[in-house]
Chains A and B, each alone.
Chain A
Amino acid sequence: MSLVREPSADQPILEIRGLTMEFGGIKALDHLDLQVRQGEIVALIGPNGAGKTTFFNCLTGIYKPTAGDLLLTPTGEKTRRLNGLKPNKVTEQGLARTFQNIRLFPNMTVLENVMIGHHCRTKARILGAIFRGPETRREEKQIVRQSYTIIEKMGLAGMVNEFARNLPYGAQRRLEIARALATDPQILLLDEPAAGMNPQETNKLDHLICRIRDEGLSILLIEHDMKLVMSLSDHIFVMDYGKKIAEGSPEQVRNNPDVIKAYLGEDIVDGNT
């Protein structure tokens, strides 16, 4: 498997320094620092409106950050700066994302959805498409084969020729992850993958994310489901009002008074202490 890489603990694969995003006078992100290490599952949590999705959009090139650095260092390669790249270039560099509200291609089949993910790793051009030479045909075959492998891994093999819009909700979520995996990423960004899922589906997702991690990918996820976050994450960052208010292992974060304050309000913390 090409995805397996040697984990190296010292150099974070993704490093974010002083990321700031202003909309007019509003600072949606305020000097945010964050690191993701190779093979880690990192969670970003925070109350609604804390700026989590804004952070994702800055990272994936949908917004252009006002200040700060986004640095990607794939193992054994040079550091690259991702600021100001177009979304498709960011994906080419190795960041693949899913969306909070599912954004599949509803009128394409499951297989085609995943095949789209391979787009930036393949290169058939117009003339290749028209003449369909051996090169193009081999590439097409390879795309189908690789896509099917991913679909199988995500447990969608039974629905491979189904239209994406006809899939049950949980399967659509998994298809989005499959599609992101097809871009052959270094880091997988999951925006609330468990939103709207029932406990069994969440449980299944938990296993799935762990398996992806075990194959050597790093994962950065935004999530509201605390149970999932606590059981899954190696490292947690907590945001509120665009600022980082805490970070650490699940245990540290759980006991951090600032975090409890942000989530539950001032009074309860005072009452506890």
Chain B
Amino acid sequence: MISLKDIRSAILISLWFIFLTFPLMVIKVNPIDRVIDWRWLNMLYVGGGSFFFYLISRIFIKHKEARQDKMQKKQESERIEKSWSIFYKPKVYVPFLVIIALFALAFPLLFSTYQTNIMITALMYVMLGLGLNIVVGVAGLLDLGYVAFYAVGAYSYSLLNLHFGIGFWTALPIGALMAATFGILLGFPVLRLRGDYLAIVTLGFGEIIRLILENWNEFSQGPSGISNIPRPGLFGLEMSLNGAITYLYYLMIILVLFTVFVVNRLQNSRIGRAWFALREDEIACQAMGIDKTTTKLRAFALGATWAGMVGVIFAAKTTFVNPASFTFLESAIILCIVVLGGMGSIIGVILGALVLILLPEYLRAFSDYRMLVFGGVLVIMMVFRPQGIISNIRRTYTFTGQEDSP
């Protein structure tokens, strides 16, 4: 399994790590006693640790390569289908769904407000991920400025509330509509672009929106942001803080279900097919009579809609918005959710969002190392499952005529 070459490179790598971490891990200056502590034991840990981690990763990678060689492409796709097909049987997935639904419903009763709050954030990212999934996963347009639409939604609600006293429920569709409009606005100049170029332009777009919000003081109150945004109301009912959070939680559950429903319907429609075709081959797509312009604009607009809605919810949840919440890092995290979860797969994106948002929260126990572990998880995922947690098994249209019985 492990060749001599692997062991040699493992030794080299562990030596390299020892060298890199030497100043941090081994040398410790004690300013009180004015002495230097040489922690040689740490060096041993670093060396040994990296040695074994490297060997283990080699074994896994070799195992994976061997499996890939063995499987022909065709067999592989069959295998994937077989391993997942058990989840498609109603007998299996119905009880599964019931358990998840009960858990989701009971969550605020079982856990503290703090936990519920984290869960609300995670659900918001589920919606964001599903929205971006339309643009990146389904239509194959790499969008690095998705957070701009999120900001548009949040500021739509904050500003409309500030100036006109518009409530949450009116602002929700307005925010969605505003974001969709901005989606189309972004869509027009980037229609000709693809891949890297598109990514750069969308990145610029995201930054432009943030910079406008930051610098146009008369419009958005600049970096100090807008505060005292009301939480979502329920027929004018007065709610305690805890009650408001629980209410928001159930609201998010409903909205996530709504998102899943709509996105699923869209993907399995004539429009969704056109998006998938656009991702596969743009020229052939046009030659088949699909209008590239409208298809792309639809993807941008429908993807942005969800970001706009989540933006409104975000403003209502935190009761305060400022431009610092809409940095490039947000776009990157949402993109990570889509890629990690599995491009084009709805369940994958949901899992991806939960993992990526909840993991750093529950890793707080490891305090200093939590971002390190987080980064490590991402790297490991991309090495061993580049297609995401759940690869998109698209066989929506399987013909089931009598001619087709295998």
A: which residues have CB within 8 A of B? Answer: 60, 62, 86-88, 91-92, 96-97, 99, 103-109, 111-112, 115-117, 119-122, 124-126, 128-130, 132, 136, 139-140, 143-144, 148, 152, 157, 160-163, 165-166, 179-180, 182-183
Contacts and interface: CB of A to CB of B under 8 A. Distances in A.
Contacts of B284: 99, 103-105
B395 A103 contact: no
B266 A91 contact: no
Contacts, number: 128
Contacts of A86: 286, 291
Interface of B: 73-74, 77, 262, 265-266, 269-274, 276-277, 280-281, 283-292, 298, 302, 394-399, 401, 403-404
A120 B281 CA distance: 17
Contacts of A129: 265-266, 269-272
Given A152-B403, A162-B74, 15 more contacts: A96-B288, A103-B287, A105-B276, A107-B394, A109-B398, A112-B276, A112-B396, A116-B273, A119-B290, A120-B288, A124-B269, A136-B269, A144-B397, A165-B73, A183-B289
A104 B283 CA distance: 10
23 contacts: A86-B286, A87-B283, A87-B286, A88-B290, A91-B286, A97-B287, A99-B284, A99-B287, A104-B284, A105-B281, A105-B284, A107-B276, A107-B280, A112-B276, A116-B285, A120-B290, A124-B270, A129-B272, A148-B401, A161-B404, A163-B77, A180-B288, A183-B289
Contacts of A103: 281, 283-284, 287
Contacts of B298: 126
Contacts of B274: 116, 119
A70 to B, nearest CB: 16
Contacts of B283: 62, 87, 99, 103
A166 B290 contact: no
A130 B288 contact: no
A112 B265 CA distance: 16
Contacts of B287: 60, 87-88, 91, 96-97, 99, 103
Contacts of B285: 105, 116
Nearest to A110: B399
Contacts of A183: 288-289
A119 to B, nearest CB: 5
Nearest to B289: A120
Nearest to A93: B289
Given A103-B284, A144-B399, A166-B77, A108 B269 contact: no
Q: Which of A116, A128, A162 has the most CB of B within 10 A?
A: A116
A257 B192 CA distance: 46
A75 to B, nearest CB: 21
Nearest to A160: B399
Give 10 nearest A-B pairs by CB, closest first. A120-B289, A129-B269, A91-B289, A105-B280, A103-B284, A87-B286, A124-B270, A160-B399, A161-B398, A116-B277
B279 to A, nearest CB: 8
A65 to B, nearest CB: 17
B288 A126 contact: no
Contact of A111 (B271, B276, B397): B397
A166 B73 contact: yes
Nearest to B291: A88
A196 to B, nearest CB: 18
B265 A109 contact: no
Contact of B395 (A109, A143, A180): A109
A157 B270 contact: no
Contacts of B281: 103-105
Nearest to B272: A129
A160 B404 contact: yes
Given A87-B287, A105-B280, A126 B395 contact: no
